[in-house]
Amino acid sequence: MGLHAVFFYIFAFVAVASAFMVIASKNPVHSVLFLILTFFNAAALFLLTGAEFLAMILLVVYVGAVAVLFLFVVMMLDVDFAELRSGVLQYAPVGALIGIILAAELIIVVGGSVLNPVAAKSITMPIPNPAERANTAALGDVLYTNYIYFFQLAGLILLVAMIGAIVLTLRHRTDIKRQDIATQVARDPKTAVTTVKVKPGQGI
């Protein structure tokens, strides 16, 4: 066992343990912190495999934005988590079904690589030699050439999801004065200025 394998098992063990603590912790703030620890160890595993670009993207996007956003939202919102957990059991069958499907997919992938080791070498787009093509450049070649339409479709789906979240959470308050662009544009001199004649000794 070399040093590379030792670090792999250390990072993998910490990642699995912290991932379990994400769902086992009773405090939601602790769950988010364990999630950040899981991302850091997953990034370290990416570095061990030579995918430094994916490791940096994982740290910048998920740890630097998503996980920190979750942490601030959980800390700022006064959510009754005891009430949320009261209806967890009714979703247990659906969760168990999804878990069985994911386990079956993992067994198929691992079993296929064990039963047929040649299958991994017969892929249509093999990983180029790092000395000839950098990891980031090779990923960009595949992403923006072979899968450019899927990349644009994923961006469109995220845009629709963002607009939907904004529309669902937008609440118009009736007790505040809002700007009406159409009314402002339709104004004319006759309605814009009003002349008031004040009688002597009276105020406006």
Domain shared by 8 and 74, yes or no: yes
Asked whether the predicted pLDDT for residue 173 surpasses 90, the reply is: no
The residue-averaged pLDDT of 17-35 equals 84
Same domain, 3 and 61: yes
Instruction: Give every CB contact of residue 38 below 8 A, 6+ residues apart in sequence.
Output: 15, 18, 19, 22
Q: Is residue 73 domain-shared with residue 133, that is, in the same domain?
A: no
CA-to-CA distance for 36 and 58, rounded, in angstroms? 10
What integer pLDDT is reported at residue 82 of this predicted model? Answer: 65
**Contact call for residues 46 and 54 (beta carbons, < 8 A):** yes
Lowest mean pLDDT of 9-13, 30-34, 110-114, 145-149, name the range. Answer: 110-114
Structural domain contains residue 178: no
Q: Which domain, by its residues, includes 158? A: 128-170
For residue range 74-112, list pLDDT tens digits in order.
776 666 666 666 666 777 788 889 989 998 988 887 777
Q: Is residue 61 very low, low, confident or very high in pLDDT (cuts 50, 70, 90)?
A: confident
Is 52 domain-assigned? yes
In a domain? residue 184? no
Residue 96 lies in a domain: no
For residue 12, the domain's CATH number is 1.20.120.1200
Q: Which of 138-142, 160-164, 193-197 has the highest mean pLDDT?
A: 160-164
Position 105 in a domain = no
- Decide if pLDDT at 72 tops 90: no
Confidence category of residue 193, pLDDT binned at 50, 70, 90: confident
Does position 156 have pLDDT exceeding 80, yes or no? Answer: yes
Q: SS3 letters for 25-44? A: CCCHHHHHHHHHHHHHHHHH
* 70, 135: one domain: no
Give the total number of structural domains in the chain: 2
Q: Which of 28-42, 145-159, 187-201 has the highest mean pLDDT?
A: 145-159
Q: Does residue 83 lie within any of the structural domains?
A: no
The answer to whether residue 63 is domain-embedded is yes
**pLDDT score, position 200:** 80
Of 100-109, 111-120, 151-160, minimum mean pLDDT range: 111-120
